[in-house]
């Protein structure tokens, strides 16, 4: 009897609220949080690739600098490496733009 009362209490107090919220989040394809995380990881990989391309092909550093800045700012959707990644990526893109002249 205690188990049933405890389960009923949990469902009434927290279960109903949490199940509704989680159902809404997970009802979208891949969920909202998964989509933002995927966007942040993808933009982080593009920033890393553009950093490598800046060092390998300095003649195209302005183009890769712009790509770095754009995707560093997009990466803030997923907290951008706790904001530090966004700041460092933006500074790196600015340096690539100024050094390419």
36 and 7 in a common domain: no
The predicted-structure confidence for 8-31, as pLDDT tens digits, reads as follows 555 555 555 555 445 444 555 657
Do 75 and 86 touch, CB atoms closer than 8 A? yes
The predicted-structure confidence for 25-52, as pLDDT tens digits, reads as follows 455 565 777 778 888 889 999 999 999 9
Do 53 and 68 touch, CB atoms closer than 8 A? no
The torsion of the CA quartet 87, 93, 94, 98, rounded to 10 degrees, works out to 160
Structural domain harbouring 19: 1-30
Please give the residue that has the higher pLDDT: either 14 or 67. Answer: 67
88 and 47 in a common domain: yes
Contacts of 24 (CB under 8 A, 6+ apart): none
Number of domains in the chain: 2
pTM: 0.66
95 and 57 in a common domain: yes
Opening angle at CA 58, ends 56 and 61, nearest 5? 110
43 and 15 in a common domain: no
């Amino acid at each position: 009897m205690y188990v049933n009362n405890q389960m009923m209490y949990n469902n009434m107090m927290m279960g109903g609220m949490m199940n509704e919220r989680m159902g809404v989040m997970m009802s979208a394809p891949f969920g909202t949080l998964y989509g933002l995380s995927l966007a942040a990881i993808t933009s982080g990989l593009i920033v890393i690739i553009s950093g490598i391309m800046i060092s390998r092909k300095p003649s195209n550093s302005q183009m890769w600098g712009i790509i770095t800045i754009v995707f560093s700012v997009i990466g803030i959707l997923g907290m951008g490496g706790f904001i530090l990644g966004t700041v460092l990526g933006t500074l790196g893109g600015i340096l690539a733009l100024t050094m390419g002249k």
